[in-house]
Structure 1
């Protein structure tokens, strides 16, 4: 009697997706939306204020309008996501951010500059949220490294800060004798954003065919969050926004008034960006271990203490 042939073993397909490289490429979205489109203005504020005779109120209003545009863009993004995939939104928003950054170098009147800052804020919100959604999709495939993957994405903000720190001061120095020499810095930053947009086509193409895992269920004992559960988190994040936007807007102007040289300002701003880049690794364990509001509370408390140190 012939022996029954044993069934062939089931071979699970090997996942060869380059998650870390995709997260790094996606982090260019955070570099464009926050590191450059929002924060680079702090480097340009002093020369623009001196050249255009702005008050500090008007100088601050530029980033206020940027934040207002960001709020509008953030509220509009869910509506946009129902009509197009996040990969397309990421690229479209980044392209628009590049355009608005470049247009800022063509105006000297306050009204069009305020409009450009608001439009750049709206487009950058679309970029950051769409990119964050894609980074979260990566994390859903790698639950044990989800904190690291998300940290890498948002750490891209530091890359944008470092690029701005290294690029803007030399351009301002080279164009110092030209009328409105700060415009060249806007144009250079626009080109950097455009290059980042081109580079993000690769993760967008890969993730367009890489859907989120299906059939996920809640773990036993886990709870479903309701809208009111986010009230305190939103309040904490709003407080964080009030602090960091004011700091990032005026810290370079403060350093210049204190007599810091261009080299010192470059080193300071680059160190700030490097710290943001390092944060993806430093805080990944905290984010992976605690899935509650504890990391937000701890980091806000740490930032509050750090903000007091220079005043002591």
Structure 2
């Protein structure tokens, strides 16, 4: 009987962990799926009705990315002072408010400001959520990264429906996403309450030596961010230029989201076997491959192939980098480490869209700008290979077991 009771306790704890991971996954649903990726669907009608060029359209994403950089850099500091719960849920609430306000104005300057503030809040949500997910159980980390795919699927259904309402449909799209983000706060709060107490502790600031050891990952992740977001920002506009209808674009977006949500769960075991920077390198190679069909063979069948390959791999990038930080850093540095890596990621996201938009305007051909994506991803692949594996995991386990607080003597191989 005692054995049965123990087994049942373990099962209940396992279900609690899964519930916590799913609840945390609503953070990237809002932070990435709604706040960042839905812009790709809303961009064509906004650009047409508000008379923007491609550089202006990319500028909104650059403003968002600059805010995202700031958000990643202050996440650990804010979490130390306000606590993880208030910081995580508060940043989600701010993101929801930004989505609602984005549907209330057509002024470019105001939209720039809103995208900037939204970048700060969504970065805090994503970075802190990644660190919290890493503390639950390594095998459940991929569950957290299904969030962006789920957000893309929801956006792919909601936004095209809203656009059918007329010229103001893009406003309605932002507002519906904002309401959905507010609703998501409830299950996220309930799930957060199930996290063990040790998962809500503050985080230490990252040491310079640790950053140096992870510098290839940092710069590779920067280029990965620039490449993937260039594709995500302008691929819908590219499909429109190739003759795709709004519903074709929506189907493309939904398939991309489904591929992302389903494949993310399978990336965990694969990336766990990769040492050094081979995980990010493999992901960069597949994401690069996913950008090519829609560029080399214009047409909807190629677009669907692109959606499946790209969608099935792009969120494995954050999964790989989060796992790499988990292996190489003591748990007290996870939030700060992930934040620094995500800051590099965000720098790339700030550069990619505006540079791509400028290339499209300069050449008068949007595909010229989108070609920047595979070039940047190739560079990310090359740099990621230089990341070496450091034997920190075993030593950190020893520190955790013995309760040592001084980690200054931790060595790498």
| 2:118 aligned partner | 120
Is this contact kept in 1: 2:28–2:125, CA < 8 A? yes
Structure 2 distance, partners of 1:289, 1:253, is 38
Given that 2:103 and 2:171 are in contact with CA atoms closer than 8 Å, whether structure 1 keeps it comes out as yes
Which residue does the alignment assign to 1:26? 24
**2:177 aligns with one of 169, 183, 189:** 189
Residue deviations 1:270-289, cap 9 Å, x none? 00001110122221111222
Question: What corresponds to 1:143 in structure 2?
Answer: none
- Counterparts of 1:162 and 1:127 in 2: how far apart (Å)? 20
Give the aligned partner of residue 54 of structure 2: 56
Task: Name the count of aligned residue pairs.
Answer: 283
- Per the normalisation by structure 2, the TM-score is 0.65
Residue equivalent to 2:238: 254
Q: Identify unmatched segments of 5+ residues in structure 1.
A: 1-7, 140-145, 215-224
Q: 2:192 aligns with which of 159, 184, 204?
A: 204
- Structure-1 separation of matches of 2:114 and 2:280: 32
Q: Is the 8 A contact 2:83 2:200 kept in 1?
A: no
For 1:104 and 1:237, the matched residues in 2 are separated by 29
Which ranges in structure 2 are unaligned for 5 or more consecutive residues? 202-208, 297-413
Structure 1's consecutive aligned runs of 4 or more residues displaced over 3 angstroms after TM superposition are 11-15, 309-312
Contact 2:41 2:250 in 1 (8 A): no
Q: Which structure shows the higher helix fraction?
A: 2
1:263 Cα deviation after fit: 2.0
Tell me the distance in 2 between the aligned counterparts of 1:100 and 1:212: 28
| Partner Cα separation in structure 2 for residue 65 and residue 298 of structure 1 | 30
Q: What SS is found at the alignment partner of 1:277?
A: helix
**In the alignment, structure 1 residue 82 sits paired with structure 2 residue 80:** yes
Aligned equivalent of 1:240: 224
- Whole-Å Cα distance in 1 between the matches of residues 275 and 30 of structure 2? 28
CA 1:187 to 1:24, structure 2 compared with 1: closer, same or farther past 3 Å? same
Alignment of 1:96-111 (within 5 A): 96-111=94-109
Separation of aligned partners in 2, 1:23 and 1:116: 29
What residue number does 1:155 align with? 146
**What is the CA-CA distance between 1:71 and the residue it aligns to?**
0.5
Q: TM-score, normalization: structure 1?
A: 0.85
Q: Which shifted more, 90-99 or 290-299?
A: 290-299
Computing the radius of gyration from Cα coordinates, the structure with the larger value is 1
CA distance in 1, matches of 2:252, 2:197: 40
**CA separation of 1:213 and 1:101: change in aligned 2, threshold 3 A:** closer
